Amino acid sequence: MSNLVRIAPGALVIGKPLPWTVYDAEGNVLLTQGYVIQTDVQLEQLFERGLFYPRRSDAPAPEPAANDIDERPRNPFSDYPQLLHTLELALRAIDRPAPDARQRVLGLANLVIRCCREAPDPCLALVHLYSVEPTAYEQTLFYAIICYFVGDQLGMEDKRLRVLIGAALTANLALLPFSDKLNQSRHRLSESQRAIIHKHPELAVAALERAGIDNRLLLTIVAQHHEQPDGSGYPAGLSGPDILPEARIVALAERYTAMITRRAYRNRYNITEARQALAEASHRLQDRSLHQALLRALTPYPPGALVRLANNEVAVVTHRPTGLQGAVAQAIVNPTGNRYVGAFKRDCTRPEYQIQQVEVPDDLPSMDFGQLWGFDRS
């Protein structure tokens, strides 16, 4: 099929879910999005068999402009590859700079907001399912998603929320060429690397201004997103109320994403550990509202978390509690440790299906994300 291309080496990572469905040369589905490659042999066979995935054009748009309304229902799992591709194009437009850079950033911010509003639990699931070893672009998208949920919890108005998400998408623009390498390095940072890290907020602001993005709130959020309430941050050493709440939200989103992400130099936190770290950090702050907003949005067991149920099944949380409805999970491993064929919906308010603990397997099991969250593959 003309719209399919061969998978490039380096596009897939062992232990991380496939970011898209894999096809053969005739367009038949071979592996669904969510399948986890476990070994080098499997990875090599995948490349050798000539599997394909849908091509993503480098042409401008189809991402919506800031004022456009895209009526298609949002499925964050099928949207995921295009969201990442659109993000890459938007950041390239800033770096060039291109005349449509502002339109691209705000259009993508609008799309993130729509995805999160229409499918909030799947959007949170993206963050937790793909946090094993995310690329720099994936991390950036996760920052924006988390910022949405904190802003939503705080009742932030749409215009301000859109600027917040635009800032989250662009704040680390100057770090993108180095982020993946830094995350994979076991060595101490060099002086030149430290200098880039400490200058990256100012470098991002300068790039945004060159691209014609002149929203003062967005630029200030980007400039301040590494400042600390106690004055120990950078680049200006601001403290307390001198730091915008939106800048602190971006910093919080980055911190949470970093905690649940695997690095070459440390293990990742599980959900329970990350929540505990956030709660402990909030106790050192005068204003705990942002941390509390994130903890409320996540709930103790956010979508995408693997959990052990009271009947000893392993399940993936698909929906957070809402009103009288408790958390919902899909059981994928039976009580004796064998994989189910398919999955079984579990109401976690029932005694036999109550969540006992977060499960941290050595290898993430393969899942069909569309099926688990009830999206029609067609």
pLDDT reported for residue 185: 57
pLDDT reported for residue 164: 98
Q: Is 132 helix (H, G, I), strand (E, B) or coil?
A: coil
Distance CA 50, CA 42 (A): 13
Distance CA 118, CA 131 (A): 22
Alpha-helical segments (H) within the chain: 40-48, 76-95, 101-118, 120-129, 136-153, 158-170, 176-184, 191-210, 216-224, 245-259, 271-282, 289-298, 369-372
Structure-block tokens of residue 344: 């079984």
Q: Give CA separation, 284 vs 111, 254, 354, in Å.
A: 35, 18, 33
Q: Which of 256, 248, 254, 290 is nearest to 275 (CA)?
A: 256
pLDDT reported for residue 66: 45
Domain boundaries, the chain: 4-54, 76-298, 306-372
Distance CA 245, CA 189 (A): 29
Distance CA 87, CA 71 (A): 20
Q: Going residue by residue through the chain, which has 378 residues, state the pLDDT in tens, using 9 for 90 and above.
A: 456 677 776 778 888 898 888 877 777 787 889 999 888 888 877 777 656 655 444 444 444 444 445 566 789 999 999 999 999 999 999 999 999 999 999 999 999 999 999 999 999 999 999 998 888 999 999 999 999 999 999 999 999 999 999 999 999 998 887 765 665 656 666 676 677 788 999 999 999 999 999 999 999 999 999 999 999 999 999 999 999 999 999 999 999 999 999 876 678 899 999 999 999 999 888 889 999 999 999 999 999 999 999 999 999 999 999 877 899 999 999 999 999 999 999 999 999 999 999 998 877 899 999 999 999 765
Answer for the pair 200, 169: CB distance below 8 angstroms, yes or no: no
Q: Is 239 helix (H, G, I), strand (E, B) or coil?
A: coil
Residue type, 113: I
3-state secondary structure 281-327: HHCCCCCCHHHHHHHHHHCCCCCCCEEEECCCCEEEEEECCECCECC
Q: Which residues of 22-44 are buried (b: 16+ CB within 10 A; e: fewer)?
A: bbeeeeeeebbbbbbbeeeeebe
Distance CA 137, CA 217 (A): 23
Residues 6+ away with beta carbon under 8 Å from 269: 259, 260, 277
Distance CA 46, CA 261 (A): 25
- Cis peptide leading into residue 235 (ω within 30°): yes
Residue type, 195: A
Distance CA 274, CA 260 (A): 7
Q: Which residues of 112-150 are buried (b: 16+ CB within 10 A; e: fewer)?
A: bbbbbeebbbbbbbbbbbbbbbbbbbbbbbbbbbbbbbb
Structure-block tokens of residue 100: 């449509």
Arch. (CATH architecture) of 76-298: Orthogonal Bundle (1.10)
Q: Fill in the DSSP letter of residue 215.
A: -
Q: Is 373 helix (H, G, I), strand (E, B) or coil?
A: coil
Structure-block tokens of residue 268: 């990742």
pLDDT reported for residue 13: 81
pLDDT reported for residue 72: 67
Structure-block tokens of residue 332: 């994928």
Cβ atoms within 10 Å, residue 83: 22
- Cis peptide leading into residue 97 (ω within 30°): yes
Q: Is 178 helix (H, G, I), strand (E, B) or coil?
A: helix
pLDDT reported for residue 16: 87
Cβ atoms within 10 Å, residue 69: 8
